[in-house]
């Protein structure tokens, strides 16, 4: 004879908040499910339905985005070089003070 178990009912607000914990914190479903004392499969189904109903916008880059990215990468490279130089100069002058 199987043990009878009653299904828990969750409010729409609870489901929405649980899904947002997963989506916004980017934590694993199993971790959030354990914290909320719910079945990971149940939370996984809620997250899957949310993602189906709310697909992320297409994140393709425009030509302007590619240009801006190249510019930022060049600027980043230059700043790294300057930062390395300043570290070496600071170390040099620190030795000169002694």
Q: Checking phi first, is residue 5 left (phi over 0); if not, alpha (psi -120 to 50) or beta?
A: beta
Contact 33, 43 (CB under 8 A): yes
CA–CA distances in Å: residue 12 to residues 6, 46, 54, 60, 86? 19, 10, 16, 33, 56
Contact 16, 26 (CB under 8 A): no
Compare 72 and 62 and report the one with higher pLDDT. Answer: 72
- Asked if pLDDT for residue 1 goes beyond 60, the answer is no
For the whole model, what pTM was predicted?
Answer: 0.53
Mean pLDDT of 7-36: 91
- Asked if pLDDT for residue 56 goes beyond 90, the answer is no
Which residues are CB-neighbours of 23 under 8 A, at least 6 positions away?
47, 50
Mean pLDDT of 36-56: 92
């Amino acid at each position: 004879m199987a043990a009878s178990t009653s299904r828990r009912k969750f409010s729409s607000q609870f489901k929405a908040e649980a899904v947002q914990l997963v989506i916004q914190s980017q934590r694993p479903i199993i971790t959030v499910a354990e914290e909320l004392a719910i079945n990971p499969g149940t939370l996984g189904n809620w997250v899957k339905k949310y993602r189906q109903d709310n697909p992320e916008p297409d994140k393709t880059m425009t030509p302007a985005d590619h240009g801006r990215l190249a510019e930022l990468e060049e600027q980043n490279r230059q700043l790294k070089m300057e930062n390395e130089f300043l570290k070496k100069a600071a170390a040099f002058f620190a030795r000169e003070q002694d």
